[in-house]
Amino acid sequence: MLGRGEGTVGASPQAQSPPAAEDVRAQLDILFASPELDAPARARRFLRYVVEETLAGRADRIKAYAIGTEVFERNSDFDAQGDPVVRIEAGRLRRALERYYLSGGRSDPVVITIPKGAYVPHFAWSKPPAGEVHAAPATTSATLTGPKGHAGNSPPQNWTAWLASASIVVLLLAGLVLWALWQTNLAHTPQASAHLPPGGPALVVMPFAALGESPAAKTYADGLTEEVLSQFARFKEITVIGRETSHSIPPGTDIARIRHDLGVRYVLEGSVRAAAHRLRITGRLLDAETGAVLWSQTYDEDLQARDLFTIQDDVARKVATAVAQPYGIIQRAHQTRAGARPPGDLEAYECTLRFYDYRAALSEESHAAIRTCLERAVALHPDFATAWAMLAVLYLDEDRFGFNPRIGSATPIERSLDAARHATRLDPENVRSLQSLMMALFFAQQPAEALEVGERAVALNPNDTELLGEFGTRLGQAGAWHRGAELLEQALARNPGHSGYYSGTLSVYAYMQHDYVRAESLIRQAALEKFPLYHFVAAVIYAQLGKASEAAEARDEFLRMRPTIFERWDDEMAKRNYRPEDAAHFAEGARKAGFPVPGRTAAEATLQAVPPKR
């Protein structure tokens, strides 16, 4: 149990009692105020939760389930074994703390760690490196003397004033070397990732400006800049210039100079204005070549309604999602420029842009051309993990949608698995690689393994709407319709421009809940006329509602596009991992619509074989 400052002033850390509760909380404030702690808002919430629970004497309650439900807002049916979010975030937090105490936190008085194998934090006084304790008496004394002569190794109680004074000195020194750092960093500009071929977009995030007279605005702006950088780094389709370079760019630097020296096409800049408990955060994306404003948004927040870390996390996520997601501002801007080029001038990156067009329409006509384009891309750039991942999806679509199947010794699913695994070997934290592996495993009838990979991908980037939509769909097909629909709703809210796919899958969810009226509304919103399964889903919904003519029209269109699918009905249901009751529900609606469904499907036979519950 932690006491209240029983240590002796001036004694060595080893001779003192463990840090008291107020010492630990003071260290926690130092951690969260430091730009050297490279941890997103969710990891900071994790750390604050486990620290406060421990200080309150409830360390025995710190289990994966409690963290998952109370920190990460999982539902009460959260399964820590099936959902690895707590383990993943704990690992990240451990690494962030290790890096912090090896760099900016070396002189901090208290060390907070999360030992491996558990989630209960450990608190200890910092041990000065050997040979440094007596190395410069005057300097050591000044360093260990806080405000009002607070001496010795016991941490000062009034950290705020002391840190503010130190910050002024640091800022003055930083101003003297800022231009030199800028020039030095230009010589070491980060290059595009080895997994991204030439032509991919590059972005620099400028430090957010603090506006107004509130001294807190600078702290808010710095914290938001770090969180935005962290969120952008999750999107592997773009290259984000490192924080050291972006922080060294002097305020007011001409955008043309940034473009020339860093080679970036896009610049994100923003500001934070604080007044009392109100915050106004503004962000905008600039085209560094033309100076045009491609996107701008203002967020008004109330610090009395939500805590600062929640605001930072939410705003940074919204900014990163709007700008960097597969259907976002940068992708559309790149696509517009690519469309002006002759068809023969197609670079590898532009294949990935066309892939997202294909995913939005799910058209067989575009499938073959994009598959060829991506095969050419990986031949030219064999380390381009994202292209391999997209190719895996196109191979899979030969089987699940019947699009342009190739005849060969390897089946489409086998080729999809090979390409997806190759993509994850090239870049294990590439969300698109993990998404393709999840999809390939799912259709290879390995749903448990597939969903585990999907959880890893969502933990890496919960902002990626392409991933959220796909993972939500797989969860639903495996029977977790409620959580799957939640993810699809999130994707739809963040990316309404891709509403067809999300609405179509949500219509299946409504159908499985026997809410046929809502299912009809959603399938009409989907409007994916070139996608065969759209017509099948529409037909069974109309049939359940008794709309015979509309059901017949949708049925005939589907049979025109996929005339032989009912010869393999049971296989088609099995590869999608539908539960027997869901597959039987589809069969019921299909018969009402007039589809040639077998008289007794495998799912129906399974249900009939199960004895009724007493």
Q: Please compute, for residue 539, the number of CA atoms within 13 A of its CA located in the half-sphere on the CB side.
A: 24
Q: Give the Cα separation of 279 and 79 in Å (integer).
A: 37
> Could you tell me the pLDDT band of residue 154, with boundaries at 50, 70 and 90?
very low
Q: Give the Cα separation of 507 and 72 in Å (integer).
A: 28
Is the pLDDT score of 287 beyond 60? yes
Is the pLDDT score of 266 beyond 60? yes
How many C-beta neighbours within 10 Å does residue 411 have? 15
How high is the pLDDT of residue 330? 79
**Residues in Cβ contact with 422 at an 8 Å cutoff, skipping those fewer than 6 apart:** 388
Is the pLDDT score of 151 beyond 50? no
Q: Give the Cα separation of 301 and 290 in Å (integer).
A: 32
Go through 339-374 and write b for each residue having 16 or more CB atoms within 10 A of its CB, e for each that does not.
Answer: eeeeeeebbbbbbbbbbbebbbebbbebbeebbebb
Average pLDDT taken over every residue of the chain: 79
Q: Please compute, for residue 134, the number of CA atoms within 13 A of its CA located in the half-sphere on the CB side.
A: 0
Superfamily of domain covering 337-461 = Tetratricopeptide repeat domain (1.25.40.10)
CA 347 to chain centroid, in Å, comes to 27
Average pLDDT over residues 16-44: 86
How high is the pLDDT of residue 169? 44
How high is the pLDDT of residue 586? 96
Query: Are the C-beta atoms of residues 282 and 298 closer than 8 Å to each other?
Result: yes
DSSP codes of every residue in 291-353 = --EEEEEEEEEETTTS-HHHHHHHHHHHHHHHHHSTTSHHHHHHHHHHHTS-TT---HHHHHH
Helix H or strand E encompassing 210: strand 209-211
Q: For 534-568, how does the pLDDT look when each residue is reduced to its tens digit (9 = 90+)?
A: 999 999 999 999 999 999 999 999 999 999 999 99
Query: Are the C-beta atoms of residues 555 and 540 closer than 8 Å to each other?
Result: no
Query: Are the C-beta atoms of residues 486 and 462 closer than 8 Å to each other?
Result: no
Percent of the chain with pLDDT over 90: 37
How high is the pLDDT of residue 360? 76
How high is the pLDDT of residue 343? 34
Report the range out of 154-158, 276-280, 421-425 with the highest average pLDDT: 421-425
Query: Are the C-beta atoms of residues 33 and 145 closer than 8 Å to each other?
Result: no
Helix runs in 495-579, H state only: 499-512, 516-526, 532-544, 548-561, 569-575
How high is the pLDDT of residue 225? 83
How high is the pLDDT of residue 295? 86
* Residue spans in the chain of domains classed CATH 3.40.50.10070: 171-324
> Could you tell me the pLDDT band of residue 243, with boundaries at 50, 70 and 90?
low
Q: What is the largest CA-CA distance in the chain?
A: 92
Q: Give the Cα separation of 134 and 115 in Å (integer).
A: 31
Q: Which of 121-125, 167-171, 467-471, 582-586 has the lowest mean pLDDT?
A: 167-171
How high is the pLDDT of residue 612? 59
Q: Give the Cα separation of 115 and 142 in Å (integer).
A: 33
Q: For 483-526, how does the pLDDT look when each residue is reduced to its tens digit (9 = 90+)?
A: 999 999 988 877 766 678 888 999 999 999 999 999 999 999 88
Is the pLDDT score of 116 beyond 80? no
Higher pLDDT, 83 or 49: 49
How high is the pLDDT of residue 12? 40
Report the length, in residues, of the chain: 614
Is the pLDDT score of 308 beyond 90? no
Average pLDDT over residues 587-591: 96
Among candidate residues 244, 280, 283, 248, the one with its CA nearest the CA of residue 266? 283
Residue 189 has φ and ψ, to the nearest 5°, of: -60, 130
Among candidate residues 476, 480, 475, the one with its CA nearest the CA of residue 450? 475
> Could you tell me the pLDDT band of residue 110, with boundaries at 50, 70 and 90?
very high
How high is the pLDDT of residue 347? 61
- Joined together, the tokens standing for residue 28 give 């926690």
How high is the pLDDT of residue 274? 85
Is the pLDDT score of 217 beyond 90? no
Predicted structure pTM score? 0.53
Among candidate residues 270, 267, 271, 247, the one with its CA nearest the CA of residue 258? 267
Report the alpha-carbon angle 52-53-54, nearest 5.
Answer: 90
Q: Which of 40-49, 196-205, 434-443, 502-511 has the lowest mean pLDDT?
A: 196-205
Is the pLDDT score of 334 beyond 80? no
Q: Give the Cα separation of 370 and 377 in Å (integer).
A: 10
* Residue spans in the chain of domains classed CATH 1.25.40.10: 337-461
Average pLDDT over residues 392-420: 94
**Residues in Cβ contact with 408 at an 8 Å cutoff, skipping those fewer than 6 apart:** none
Q: For 353-377, how does the pLDDT look when each residue is reduced to its tens digit (9 = 90+)?
A: 788 788 877 888 899 999 999 999 8
How high is the pLDDT of residue 144? 30
Report the range out of 38-47, 99-108, 110-119, 512-521 with the highest average pLDDT: 512-521
**In 3-state terms, what secondary structure has residue 247?**
helix
Go through 55-82 and write b for each residue having 16 or more CB atoms within 10 A of its CB, e for each that does not.
Answer: beeeeeebebebbbbebbebeeebebee
Helix H or strand E encompassing 269: strand 266-275
One CATH from 3.40.50.720, 3.40.50.10070, 2.30.29.30, 3.30.70.20 for 171-324: 3.40.50.10070
Higher pLDDT, 476 or 193: 476
Burial class (CB in 10 A: 0-12, 13-18, 19+), 28: buried
Query: Are the C-beta atoms of residues 188 and 172 closer than 8 Å to each other?
Result: no
Among candidate residues 520, 494, 495, 498, the one with its CA nearest the CA of residue 507? 520
Among candidate residues 453, 400, 401, 417, the one with its CA nearest the CA of residue 577? 400
> Could you tell me the pLDDT band of residue 407, with boundaries at 50, 70 and 90?
confident
Bridge partners of 204, per DSSP, are 267
Helices (H) and strands (E) in the chain, counts: 26, 8
Cα radius of gyration rounded to whole Å, the chain: 28
How high is the pLDDT of residue 322? 83
Q: Please compute, for residue 191, the number of CA atoms within 13 A of its CA located in the half-sphere on the CB side.
A: 4
Amino acid, res. 136: A
CA 360 to chain centroid, in Å, comes to 20
